[in-house]
Amino acid sequence: MSQPDVAQRIAELRALIRRYDYHYYVLDDPIVSDAEYDALMAELRALEAAHPELITPDSPTQRVSGTPASQFAKVQHPQPMLSLGNAFTTADLLAWRDRVLRLLGNDATIAYVVEPKIDGLAIALTYRDGRFVQGATRGDGEVGEDVTANLRTIGSIPLTLHPLDGIHDPDLPAELPALIEVRGEIYIRTADFEALNNRLAAAGERIFANPRNAAAGSLRQKDPSITAARPLRFFAYGVGPVEGVTLTSQWQTLRYLRALGFPVNQDVRRFTDFAEVLAYCEEWMARRDTLPYEADGMVIKIDDVAQQNELGVVGRDPRWAIALKFPAREAMTRLLDITVNV
Ligand code: NAD
């Protein structure tokens, strides 16, 4: 492709991706499948990698997508809420591991935490002195929406944190944090999603394309009593700013969050051997259809926080984590076609 052709294709891809982002993140109503979207994003990334002079700061590859809706007050995230780089094959995962080793040094001792990637929407919950004070969506990663009132209606979100008196784990801080921002995912189980859509269809209302959009649409309601009537769940997978305690690894963080009273997925694992990481991902892929919720992949994270900081962030993706995306589902595309055509 000649340089002008490349520039034109890049402009086309950016325009398409921005349009699809708007439908997905703002309207909670996607008009293409995730696989189709991911393919456009991969094409854009490849063209930009070959022509770095054409990268602009507003390219969808450089920023977290999603616009805070004007109906909610805006919340500036004290630390940006990032996205995740994608891997689609074992070769992609090995390339990621090699890059990590190159950056940390070939003799570095590395542990990995592997977590299911439940498909919902990312939120940040702030607790001061053990009390829930604010909850926000990821938005564009820098600025999210204040959905505190809606989040208060979700049973699995603690309004006050457990005192840690009964917990005797020498590896965990013994105190409550003075401040902690807990990050995690709001999601809807598959059976609850189907029941919700049946209920909406019977009432003549618009149905949702998939559990992720149902979760996002249900959380971003002006009236918290509507959110309260929706079967939303939460699981915690990380932290933003923390004061008063020090957390040195992802594994310790997950156990601490569990001790504080947050739901943490039971299927998280820690490995020191990358072959075990690959085997666990494969085992999970086989289990995908038996899960009570929609999972779109696995997330692999470097366990040690000091190593995470050394690896840092590139664009909108941390170098210390990667999402292995499961292959696209046929049924998903069909469901979307039907939804878009009604
Ligand atoms: P992402 O969904 O690929 O990954 C980042 C998100 O993963 C985090 O924000 C968090 O919400 C979630 N997550 C779940 N479990 C996690 C865990 N254990 N640890 C850390 N994070 C976890 O990235 P994104 O930027 O939110 O969305 C991009 C994806 O959304 C695309 O790959 C595409 O599939 C889909 N998308 C689809 C359309 C469409 O029109 N169909 C449009 C935009 C985006």
What is the tens place of the pLDDT at every residue in 273-312?
999 999 999 999 899 989 999 999 999 999 999 999 999 9
Q: Under a CB-based contact definition with an 8 Å cutoff, are residues 74 and 146 in contact?
A: yes
Q: What is the pLDDT of residue 336?
A: 39
Residue 21, annotated ligand binder? no
Q: How confident is the model at residue 166 (pLDDT cuts 50, 70, 90)?
A: low
Atom of ligand 1 nearest to the CA of 81: 9
> What number is the average pLDDT over the span 137-149?
94
Nearest CA to ligand 1 atom 33: 34
Residue that wins the pLDDT comparison between 232 and 106: 232
Q: Under a CB-based contact definition with an 8 Å cutoff, are residues 213 and 193 in contact?
A: no
Residue with tokens 């971003």: 220
Residue that wins the pLDDT comparison between 24 and 308: 308
Q: What is the pLDDT of residue 330?
A: 52
187 membership: H or E segment, kind and range: strand 179-187
Q: Which domains, ranges and CATH numbers included, belong to the chain?
A: 1-62 (1.10.287.610), 63-341 (3.30.470.30)
Residue 34, annotated ligand binder? yes
Q: Under a CB-based contact definition with an 8 Å cutoff, are residues 110 and 302 in contact?
A: yes
Residue 222, annotated ligand binder? no
Which range (95-109, 130-144, 165-179, 288-302) has the least confidence?
A: 165-179
Distance 64 CA to ligand 1 centre (A): 10
Residues facing 253 on adjacent strands: none
Residue that wins the pLDDT comparison between 26 and 88: 88
Computed over its alpha carbons, how large is the radius of gyration of the chain? 20
Residues 49 and 234: their CA atoms lie apart, in Å, by: 36
Residue 293, annotated ligand binder? no
Q: What is the pLDDT of residue 1?
A: 82
Which of 127-165 are b and which e, b meaning 16 or more Cβ less than 10 Å from the residue's Cβ?
beebebeebbbbbbbebbbbbbbbbebbeebbeebeebe
Q: What is the pLDDT of residue 334?
A: 41
User: Each residue of 167-208: pLDDT tens digit?
Assistant: 778 899 988 999 999 999 999 999 999 999 999 999 999 999
Q: What is the pLDDT of residue 338?
A: 37
Does the C-beta of 30 come closer than 6 Å to ligand 1? yes
User: Each residue of 47-69: pLDDT tens digit?
Assistant: 999 999 999 888 888 877 776 67
Residue that wins the pLDDT comparison between 12 and 327: 12
Q: What is the pLDDT of residue 315?
A: 81
Nearest CA to ligand 1 atom 13: 117
Atom of ligand 1 nearest to the CA of 116: 18
Q: Ligand 1 pocket: which of 37, 235, 266 to mutate (most atoms <8 Å of CB)?
A: 37
Residues facing 236 on adjacent strands: 184
ipTM for this prediction: 0.93
Q: Under a CB-based contact definition with an 8 Å cutoff, are residues 25 and 215 in contact?
A: no
Could you tell me the CA-to-CA distances from 121 to 45, 117, 191, 225 in Å, in that order?
Answer: 23, 11, 18, 20
Q: How is residue 307 written in tokens?
A: 């190593």
Nearest CA to ligand 1 atom 25: 83
